[in-house]
Structure 1
Amino acid sequence: MTRFELEQQPRWVLPAVDEFYPALLKAGIRLSRCHDLTLAEGLLLAHEGRHGTHRNPGAAWARLHNQIEPPDKPPPARDAQPALFELDERFFTLDQLAEVYAEQQRRIMATAHPDRMRLLVASESAGALAAAEMSHHGLPWSEDVHRELLSSMLGPKPAPGARPLKLAELADRIIEAFDGRSLNPDSPPSVVKAFARDGIDIPSTRAWVLREIDHPAVEPLLEYKELARMWTAHGWSWLESWVHDGRFRPEYVVGGVVSGRWATRGGAALQLPKALRTAVRALPGWSLVVADAAQLEPRVLAALSADQRLAEFSADVDLYAGLAKDTFDGDRAKAKIAMLSAMYGGTSGGAGPLLALLRKRFPKAVGHVEQAAQAGELGRMVRSRLGRTSPLPSERWRTLMERTEGSEEDMRKSRQAARDWGRFTRNFVVQASAADWALVLLVVLRRRLADLAPKAEIVFYQHDEFMVHCPTETAPLVTAELAASATEATHLVFGSTEVQFPLETSTVDTYADAK
């Protein structure tokens, strides 16, 4: 198989990459290309307005023959050891796999932009290969640094069932601030009741709510919440569960978010607190090359809308600074608020007049997202640049929209529901298209790095951020390949656009130094 892969470089058709590829990697076999039938089916079903339909190849074959669809399998168990090419017992023959593949190719060609959908399916499948490889390689992690950080923040490792020393001390301070009345700082209802007893009504214990309160318990509560998150999400138990032999191996879920962004199945790899980034450390003689796309979503909007005026500001790394100088009297904060309001639909806090000014100056860009918002308010689907499709609103939403009479409160709820869904579709076209671009960059980078010697490993990917672990002498070449990958991804996704997508890249020993 290895010889065939190297000599022929075929596009393998796999029922599901996450089920089959980890075993191949353990056997030392790397695939360059594939077609993931499950991921492709999910993209095509969504494109056809059938979100939530079973995506597995067995279900796809059953639909072709009007048979009962088998449900989707649960995700592979962690550290599972699947046999190579062992077909799901609910799936029957290789001929049926081939039949599903052929039908998917027909459906791709039937879309309005088959070239874009083909690129999306190929990228999603190659992204699944990259995800499995990132889990296989693992993120280089210093367990000693992690333990030292926990000790400095929380105190010594506590006994099972006990709070760390620092949290216990903060809990005592919180109770003291409430005149010694017993409460559980880990329980929001308990904290809300404690404030109520002191004559302060709060809707929740969210940090921004607490900061508005003048009470001696606020300071220790905020500190307690921050440290408790570290303890529960990335404490000693997390370290023992997820880091082995100096590597953190998260389980990525490709396209785990409806916009196309990835998620993780345990490990919280995409929510690493800044304090913990110091534990991500390159091996001796190696470096981390970390790159992130500067202000990706505004650039994506410029490319989607073909707004030439907005495209002119994309040459600068700080797009907002140029926008501020041109339109907002040099006030960068106003420029950012206006752009975010356009993409997310916000009008509060003085955003309305700023958005109006942006609309006047860049009508094509603002008009593009406003058309998406209008489609959402009418209950229609919208699509990313490559064809990833937003879900349809719920039946409850449609029931609200069908109201033609009722109380003023009922009609207000209907209007609000329409606006809320419009805000979702407004942002979907931008965020999902940004996910398209980032995914294509990832798979292009994977292909380019495959030819490097010694090998450079992609070890982390998050929305618009990429991390490569490589020998230090290879870092300049990796940096150049990242820039070239961004250029190639831009051409593949947006064609001959004049919008530029610069990467901010740094070569560091620890992830914390990249920020």
Structure 2
Amino acid sequence: MPDLAAMNASPTWWVLGESAAGELSAVPLTRSGEAGPVVPLSPAALAEFVAEREAAESPRWVWSDTPHWYPRLLEAGVRIARCHDLRLCHAILALSERVADPVPLRTALEWDAGPTIPVAAARPEATLFDFGVPAAGPDSVPHSLTAALAEFARQRAAEATRRDLGLLLAAESAGALIAIEMATAGVPWDVAEHDRLLAAELGPRPAPGVKPQAMLTVGEEVRAALGDATANLDSPPKLIRALRTAGVDVASTSQWELMEHEHPVIAPLLRYKKLARLLTANGWAWLDEWVHEGRYRPVYVPGGVVTGRWASSGGGALQLPRQLRPAVRADPGWRLVSADVAQLEPRVLAAYAGDRALAAAARGADLYTGIVETGAVATREEAKFAMLGAMYGATTGEAGRLAPRLRRAYPAAMGMLDRAASTGEQGGKVATKLGRTSPPPSPEWAAEQSKASMPGATLADEARARRTARDLGRFTRNFIVQGTAAEWALAWLAGLRSRLWELPLVTDGPHAAASGRVFSRRAHLVFFLHDEVIVHAPAEQAEAVATAIRAAADDAGQLLFPGAPVDFPLDLRITERSDAK
């Protein structure tokens, strides 16, 4: 049994601060909140000081934001076990409905990272609403020791009586460490293979400012089908006009709208758009900018989506196309150990709702096949379509037709989704398992609802209000599932990170020198995408890493849903390159 008195007397946290002039300082805090003497630090002494304290006490480091502090430590060869990211935790607590008195946090405006920026809604089988990265970056957050201490006190008071919030803050902060570590180590990348893949799709690398040959060829096919030799294929407004002239009545050039039409121009135009997207997002310019010394180092943004999912503010890690996966290749003598979770969001729904029937359908098997075997629907395709429609709020078409069957078969899970949707339609907020809360509706939304209920409201006003209410209901319906799945994934990542660090250093054999001082001789995370991880590991440790990945997934399930009869099976592979099976 631990000595509680000794734990309370020794530093539990070290709070770091930085003045506007760049002067650093640190102060220890005990569990009771007692502060020790302030320790002034020079920038050159920071890494050594943190390394000494880490070895002696293994505290939790409290700092304004991980991207500001952690890279300089890793560059000096210092890895820490735990941190508390004040900026990320502030964003959670200031909105959480589980905080008894959020006013002190909400009035500490200097800790707001800026509003999230909404982008267009996606199709139901993708994500419902994504929100962009914070409008203001970490540099907008104060770094002074006084400010950090005051904010930490507010946050401790806010989550003091809520174990679920404490778990969420720890997981979010661990994710911040992992994001910086993955950017530091980088994804092992085969530049020659990437160039070969581009050449196979686009043709040889062209001169600057010149389109690749494949795009030129397909572009001529598009213009021929349009009957317009001068059509501008890279300007959506001009392309829409050319399409309409050719008899294709579209409002946009999105793939989904184009596919609804039958015309000789559709196939080559979709091919052209695919090539253009590859060139723009991951072409030779991308390769020159983002891959150096055999490593691809994107910039991750933990919590960049309001549901808690990660975003990316550089490098496009979250949109890495499958066709480029062969370029992800382990160093000689190393392996890639990759895993993704089967049907993560429906499993999370079953666990969060306590729906034993849905959990039983998923247990140890393909969830959609399990739904078919219960007789709820006839085919696996129907099961997948119905479940995704239920989670993303599809109420018409095939998904709408199948919804009553799911409600009869899985009343607890479907009831939770329906209640979340109803809450959103009325302008309310919903929360994930650990307490991340959906943002309130915008003032514009509230004004539309109010206008529709006023004397003199038109039928158009009422229709608009109903539509926007349903839209918000679709968002809250999905928020509880996507957000809780993000929490499970964070717990998985955090547990895996700890387990990997327990594996021994590689003393013999090749090192992964390009991964940097901290990771060149040990297995380390290099990639994460919602429900997928990739670990770069010495070949002799690959099986141990696979075991760690499975164990961390089991731990995450028990941490979030203790005792729930829901498993999270993994598709796990040990390969030399990412696309190998």
**How does the TM-score come out when normalised to structure 2?**
0.80
Q: For residues 60 and 146 of structure 2, what CA distance do their matches in structure 1 show?
A: 17
My pick for the range that moved more, 309-318 or 25-34, is: 309-318
Mapped pair 1:440 → 2:477:
no
Task: Report how far residue 192 of structure 1 moved.
Answer: 1.6
Q: Say if 2:201 and 2:275, in contact at 8 Å, map to a contact too.
A: yes
Give the stretch that moved more between structures: 174-183 or 254-263. 174-183
Q: SS state of the match for residue 176, structure 1?
A: helix
- In structure 1, give the amino acid aligned to 2:59: P
AA aligned to 2:499 is: R
Match for residue 458 of structure 1?
525
Q: CA deviation at 1:105?
A: 0.4
How much does 1:56 deviate?
12
Q: Report Cα offsets for 1:76-95 as digits up to 9, x if no partner.
A: 69xxxxxxxxxx99554x24
1:147 CA drift (Å) = 0.8
Question: Residue 340 of structure 1 aligns to which amino acid in structure 2?
Answer: L
**Percent identity for Structure 1 against Structure 2:** 44
Out of 262, 269, 277, the position equivalent to 1:221 is: 269
Q: Match of 2:198?
A: 150
Distance 2:218 2:163 in 1: 58
Unmatched segments (≥5 aa) in structure 2 = 1-49, 113-133, 506-521
Partners of 1:160 and 1:96 lie apart in 2 by 49
1:119 aligned partner: 167
SS in 2 for 1:458: strand
Distance 2:247 2:378 in 1: 45
Paired residue for 1:85? none
The structural deviation recorded for 1:195 is 2.1
Which one-letter code corresponds to 1:508 in the other structure?
T
- Structure 1: segments with no counterpart, 5+ residues: 62-71, 78-87
1:102 is aligned, of 153, 169, 174, to 153
Is 1:415 paired with 2:466? yes
Kindly indicate whether the alpha-carbon contact (under 8 Å) linking 2:371 and 2:377 is maintained by their aligned counterparts in 1: no
Change (3 A) 1:344 1:73: closer
1:264 to 301, 312, 326: 312
Corresponding residue SS for 1:450: helix
Counterpart of 1:18? 67
From 55, 59, 67, give the equivalent of 1:6: 55
Any conservation in 1 of the 2:376–2:409 contact (CA below 8 Å)? Answer: no
Query: CA 1:89–1:133 in structure 2 vs 1: closer, same or farther (change >3 Å)?
Result: closer
- Quote the residue 1:210 is aligned against: 258
Please give the per-residue CA displacement for 1:383-439, whole angstroms capped at 9, x wherever unaligned: 000111101111111122222252222211111111111110000001100000000
The aligned residue for residue 166 of structure 1 is 214
What's the TM-score, normalizing by structure 1?
Answer: 0.90
Among 514, 531, 538, which residue is 1:471 paired with? 538
Displacement of 1:39? 0.9
Aligned to 2:360: 312
Partner of 1:185: 233
Cα distance in 2, alignment partners of residues 89 and 16 from structure 1: 8
CA–CA distance in 2 between the matches of 1:299 and 1:259?
Answer: 17
The 10-residue stretch of structure 1 (18-27 or 305-314) with the greater mean CA deviation from structure 2: 305-314
Using the TM superposition, name which of 310-319 and 238-247 deviates more: 310-319
Contact preservation (8 Å) 2:182, 2:297: yes
Question: CA separation in 2, counterparts of 1:89 and 1:481?
Answer: 36
Secondary structure of 1:512 counterpart? coil
C-alpha distance 285-152 of structure 1, shift in aligned 2 (>3 A): same
CA contact (8 A) 2:302 2:309 kept: yes
1:225-249 deviation per Cα after TM superposition (whole angstroms, max 9, x unaligned): 1011010110110000000000000
Equivalent position SS for 1:265: strand
Q: Is the 8 A contact 1:13 1:35 kept in 2?
A: yes
- Could you list the per-position Cα deviations for residues 444-481 of structure 1 after superposition, in whole angstroms to 9, with x for gaps in the alignment? 11011111123111000110111100011111111111
Q: Offset at 1:299?
A: 0.7
Query: For 1:485 and 1:332, how far apart are their aligned partners in 2?
Result: 29
CA distance in 1, matches of 2:352, 2:262: 47
- Distance in 2, Cα, partners of 1:166 & 1:257: 36
Aligned match of 2:570 in 493, 503, 507? Answer: 503
Q: Distance in 2 between matches of 1:355 and 1:329?
A: 10
SS at match of 1:256: coil
